[in-house]
Amino acid sequence: MSYKILRLTGSGCLLFALAAACGNSDGGELFNDGSGGADGSAAGASGATTATGGAPATGGAPATGGGPATGGAPATGGGPATGGGPATGGAPATGGGPATGGAPATGGGPATGGGAGMGMGGNAAGAAGVGGVAGSAGVGGAAGSAGAAGAAGAGGGTCAVACEDANIGRCVGGVCVIDCSTGLSCASGVTCPAGLPCRVNCGGNGCSGGIDCSEASSCDLNCTGSGSCSGRVACGGTACDVDCGTNACAGGIECPAGTSCNLDCGGSGSCQTRIACEGNCRVDCGTNACSGGVGCTAGSQCDVRCDGSGSCLGQIACAGTSCDARCEGGNSCAGGIASTVTGNSDIRCSGSLSCLGKVSCGGNTCDVACSGTSACASGVCCTASTCNVSGATPSCP
């Protein structure tokens, strides 16, 4: 379309584009034709197809026909978006429907559950692990399910229930610790929980009612207070350690079959009642200790050390598989030694006036050495297959 510039001499106006402003023209003669306006009117009136004409006609009145252009069919955006994102193909046409986008993204996988909790100090069981956080939803996808909670950690739950909850003691590293360290405490006796390692601490004159550790898995009994554990002490489990102070453990100590016992009667005057060993026993006796003697029954191994002066006043009797007796203190083993073991006996009477009572032995081999001053005063009787006796004249009975 082309434009004309007209000089209207009648009014003296020079018009550019809109001549009708001077009032001397109806405007139609200013242009080669008015087709642009017609085209715009036609397009607007139809409303069926998108208007594609060039710049809108400016010469005529604005097109008023029909609604705005609908833009045709909505944009589909192509195939599904990779990775679950929505299709981005083209902004939606004016008046048209929105882009349909790709298929929804798959939701995130479930988060892994929390790890197992750790028990503290072997006391209470560990807390359950924290469950995993739910996976984030993908764009258009469903949220991932939350991870399962971790299993409860293994811990000292059994100790806490049997020892602490029962008001017996407190758990330390899985061991039930019973405190009777104050004077005259635990006078009614102490009973260790079944199936647990047990440690009992007894102060001066404490634990006078005795200690029953027969059902524990192991025993650590500290009767170190003067005059403590005056009642019976019963060991149990796989191992039992008993430490007796001055005048302690007066009620006797029992070591059952299947238990290895380490009995330290090092306190002066301790272990006055006879010690009974059915399991494997190591007994150490201090000054005037073990006055009731030591008895080791069938099936046991007996190792008795009477190091203190006047120790092991009562007889040492070995009836198990082996017997090892050391009478090194002055006047020790005054009650004599009787070994009927099936295996070997090794007896040493090195203390002055030691082994005043009769020494007798049988079994496979018997070795007796009476090296102390006036030791083995009552003689030695050996009925073993092999006898090795020194420092004394063999004599039976």
Digit-coded pLDDT (tens) for 188-239: 999 999 999 999 999 999 999 999 999 999 999 999 999 999 999 999 999 9
Judge contact between 360 and 335, C-beta under 8 A: no
With bands split at pLDDT 50, 70 and 90, how would you rate the model's confidence at 102? very low
Q: Look at residue 1 and tell me whether its pLDDT is greater than 90.
A: no
Question: Amino acid letter at 198?
Answer: C
Position 326 scores a pLDDT of 98
Q: What mean pLDDT is predicted for residues 273-293?
A: 96
HSE-up (13 A, CA, CB side) for residue 106: 5
The string of pLDDT tens digits covering residues 341-353 is: 999 999 999 999 9
Q: Report the relative pairing of strands 6-8 and 13-15 from DSSP bridges.
A: antiparallel
Position 191 scores a pLDDT of 97
Q: Do you know the residue count of the chain?
A: 397
Q: What mean pLDDT is predicted for residues 166-181?
A: 96
Higher pLDDT residue, 123 or 252? 252
The Cα 312–Cα 82 span in angstroms is 92
Position 298 scores a pLDDT of 75
Three-state DSSP state, 296: strand
Q: Report the relative pairing of strands 322-327 and 211-212 from DSSP bridges.
A: unpaired
The string of pLDDT tens digits covering residues 37-88 is: 333 332 332 333 333 334 433 433 433 434 433 433 433 433 433 433 433 4
Position 135 scores a pLDDT of 43
**CB-count exposure of residue 201 (10 Å: 0-12, 13-18, 19+):** buried
Sequence spans of domains, the chain: 1-37, 173-343
Give Dmax (Cα) for the chain.
174
Position 157 scores a pLDDT of 62
Residue 260 backbone phi and psi in degrees, to 5: -95, 120
